[in-house]
Structure 1
Amino acid sequence: MSWRMPAETAPHERTWMAFPREGITLGAEASEREEGYAAWTAVAHAVAEFEPVTMVVDPTELGRARRMLGSHVDIVEAPLDEFWMRDFGPTFVLDDERPGVLGAVDWVFNGWGAPEWAEWKVSAEIARFAAAHVGAELVSSVLVNEGGGIHVDGEGTVLLTETVQLDPRRNPYADRARIEAEMARTIGATKAIWLPRGLTRDYDDFGTNGHVDIVATITSPGRVLLHHQADPAHPDFEVTRALRAQLEGETDAAGRALEVVDLPAPATLRDEEGFVDWSYVNHLVVNDGVVACGFGEPEADERAATILADAYPGRRVVTVDARPIFARGGGIHCITQQQPALPNEETER
């Protein structure tokens, strides 16, 4: 077997999501909960403009999900506690030696390092559930990892973060060599580019400790979009400067020097919790489109949409207000997980 995670820009069969349910992430007040339901629904409807969406729904939320999602989204029922599908769901892979075979990597999920507040043991079973639902071969891993902790170019390159995969709360006995060997076995990565850290807010109690999918993404082989904080008053000003300097000196699996393109942050620096991690990098590429994060700043949102349209030629950019999602700890990429399309005979020829 030769498993390979395709680039997000490769054709999709569908996108997977998980519908919110009551708990610490959704919010204590009725207004907070309604805001969360509405934000997840808006993303699902935006994705459904381009490709099928399958939504995993906890039994307690079936009525609400059917009412809000309507006929645009396929609903499957399974128990949930958390609803960040990117992180606990499967990482879908293809086998280049068997073109009709879909695989699903089942990482170990421990709630981003098993913090005291996290509820995760139920959703940790969803990768196996989703794999069985679509008939994918299960690729079991003993590595604690989340889908938001990796980005690939589909040609052997993977972006990782030292504070995620080497986090002692996740993988206390791992080193770089072991992580890289497991990335090669499960997703076909032959070259790992290790970022030293992620964005500042991501190290708060409710953060992921440095997920790459809010910092940088590979838009095409040899080209990286990097979050750019231009205001020296924000601690990510220094963080993103250092990351740019590092990435400019890196090469990918094919030996190409990386072209680094800045994706500027919105102007807002703080919310009631402190410095924000609002990032346009946390978008989802879909068939013929891009579902982008919006932050209620027309000029900045439009600038980001223009950069994304240039990064993904021929795709239509749709912007969805991501502030309610970021207030709960992530963004649009964090709540979605693409399932790649299997190559057909025409592709093979």
Structure 2
Amino acid sequence: MTTPEPAGWTMPAETGPHERTWMAWPSTGYTLGETAAAAEEARAAWAAVANAVAEHEPLHMLVPPHELAAARRRLAGGIVLHETPLDDAWYRDTGPTFVVGPAGLGAVDWVFNGWGRQEWASWEHDAVAGDVAIEVSGAHRIDSPLVNEGGGIHTDGAGTFLVTESVQLDPLRNPGWTRRQVEDELARTVGARAVIWLRRGLTRDSERFGTKGHVDIVAAFTAPGRVLVHDQRDPAHPDARISREVMETLGAARDARGKPLEITALPAPAVLRDAEGWVDYSYVNHYVLNGAVVACAFDDPADDEARAILADAYPGRAVVTVDARPLFARGGGVHCITQQQPALPARNDA
């Protein structure tokens, strides 16, 4: 007899209480780099985020065997290490998406194919890296045929989700899928009741070493009905047009309650380019955890303004900043390397 799949799964808001955070250690490829100096820079960047998170909640880190010594050298005591092979270190994307429901804790196991079969990516190990968090957490596995990554969705915790056409409808991710099919699958797995479609992500993230447009670098809910949006104010940067388009789309949208969204502009850093071209530096790519926000800093004139906006958006939480430039040089930010496991609501058995 087949056991029926539990129903009623919902993805809580990132602002809700966490049981722990999950991360993966940089260990190979372009993320670790080709020189000893580049490798140390990557390790230091990941460790800075991990140690900041571990000040506020438990942290579990996946680490390949050949990097265990380096990880132990840099990570704070109390961080739990899980020895496992990896291709890359973006656990927001390769780990599961945790949900809660009448059956307890669930974990959506999306299909991962290297951000739409990017020619530089490998995913033999990353395609199954979510198994570690699923098994350790004891979550009910929810298998999904959708090729998706955690950075490709963002929720208010009340059934409203942000996605991008360039990710979920990418023909190298989900050939032939329609908006309706994606929305139905998000409803089944993460409890989506209103899906807001943005056309694309930022310019750099849409180029060779990007994700093809993850939403978590563009916009993020801070509460139901409230959303932060990356605001590129300099018309010289091609993201200025994208910022305007995103704000127009969100301005016309309604959430799962049928209400309009309150949009807060989060300024882009003043720097426009690096050695590789237009930057996609974004303060939107922050991580909210128990009692704190780990935010990106870029040694930029806009750092202080962004930090003040984040402090106002998340009252009562400490805003901790880390230098995110080494992360963005490798293709992502603070949110991209962290994945929350929500705490289950306390049961009242009386």
Bin the TM-score by the shorter chain.
over 0.9
Greater Cα offset, 19-28 or 171-180: 19-28
Q: Which residue is 1:343 aligned to?
A: 345
User: How far apart are the structure 2 equivalents of 1:341 and 1:320?
Assistant: 25
Q: Distance in 2 between matches of 1:268 and 1:50?
A: 31
The residue type paired with residue 18 of structure 1 is A
Instruction: Give yes or no for the alignment of 1:60 onto 2:66.
Output: yes
How far did 1:107 drift? 0.1
Question: Which whole-Å CA distance do the structure 1 matches of 2:31 and 2:288 have between them?
Answer: 25
**1:128-149 residue CA offsets vs partner (Å, 9 max, x unmatched):** 2210111111000010000000
1:112 and 1:166 map into 2 onto residues whose CA distance is 12
User: Residue in 2 aligned with 1:7?
Assistant: 13
Structure 1 residue aligned with 2:115: 112
Maintained 8 Å contact 2:56/2:290: yes
| Residue in structure 2 matched with residue 300 of structure 1 by the alignment | 302
Any stretches of 5+ residues in structure 1 without a counterpart? Answer: none
Verify: 1:38 aligned to 2:44, yes or no. yes
Match of 2:127 among 124, 127, 130: 124
How far does residue 72 in structure 1 lie from its aligned partner after superposition?
3.5
**Distance in 2 separating the partners of 1:263 and 1:126:** 33
How many pairs were matched up? 344
Counterpart position of 2:157: 154
Does the 8 A contact of 2:51 with 2:76 survive in 1?
A: no
Q: CA deviation at 1:121?
A: 1.7
Deviations 1:266-321 (A, max 9, x none): 10000000000000000000101100000012x31111111001111111100000
Which secondary structure state, in structure 1, belongs to the residue aligned with residue 50 of structure 2? Answer: helix
Corresponding position of 1:258? 261
Residue by residue over 1:32-60, the C-alpha shift from the partner in whole angstroms, topping out at 9 and shown as x without a partner, is 11100000000000111111110000111
Q: Write the mapping of 1:1-349 to structure 2, written as runs, cut at 5 A.
A: 1-95=7-101, 97-98=102-103, 101-297=104-300, 299-345=301-347
- C-alpha distance in 2 between matches for 1:282 and 1:276: 14
Contact 1:45 1:72 (C-alpha < 8 Å) held by counterparts: no
Distance 1:15 1:129 in 2: 13
User: Kindly tell me: are residues 204 and 116 of structure 1, through their superposed partners in 2, closer, same or farther at Cα, counting changes over 3 Å?
Assistant: same
Q: Secondary structure at the match of 1:10?
A: coil
1:305 match: secondary structure: helix
- Do the aligned partners of 2:28 and 2:88 also contact (CA within 8 Å) in 1? no
1:345 deviates by 3.0
The residue matched to 2:196 in structure 1 has which SS? Answer: strand
Secondary structure at the aligned position of 1:345 is classed as coil
- What is the rounded CA distance, in whole Å, between the counterparts of 2:203 and 2:25 in structure 1? 28
Secondary structure of 2:135's aligned partner? helix
2:173 and 2:221 mapped to 1: Cα distance?
A: 25
Cα distance in structure 2, aligned partners of 1:63 and 1:134: 25
2:3 maps to what in 1?
Answer: none
Where in structure 2 are there 5+ consecutive unaligned residues? 1-6
Q: Which amino acid letter does the alignment assign opposite residue 3 of structure 1?
A: W
Q: Read off the aligned partner of 2:64 and give its amino acid letter.
A: D
- After TM superposition, the structure 1 stretch with the greater mean CA deviation from structure 2, 74-83 or 221-230, is 74-83
**Contact map agreement 1:283 1:333 (CA 8 A) in 2:** yes
2-side partners of 1:235 and 1:28: how far apart?
Answer: 30
Q: Residue type of the partner of 1:121?
A: E
Task: Give the drift of 1:181.
Answer: 0.4
**How many angstroms apart in 2 are the aligned matches of 1:218 and 1:134?**
26
SS in structure 1 of the partner of residue 45 of structure 2: helix
Measure how far apart 1:63 and its partner are.
1.1
Query: How many Å separate the matches in 2 of 1:143 and 1:259?
Result: 30
Residue 187 (structure 1) shift: 0.2
- In structure 2, distance between residues paired with 1:229 and 1:201: 13
Higher mean C-alpha displacement, 34-43 vs 236-245:
236-245
State the distance in 2 between where 1:255 and 1:70 align: 45
Q: How large is the RMSD of aligned CA atoms in angstroms?
A: 1.1
CA distance in 1, matches of 2:83, 2:36: 23
Moved over 6 A (4+): none
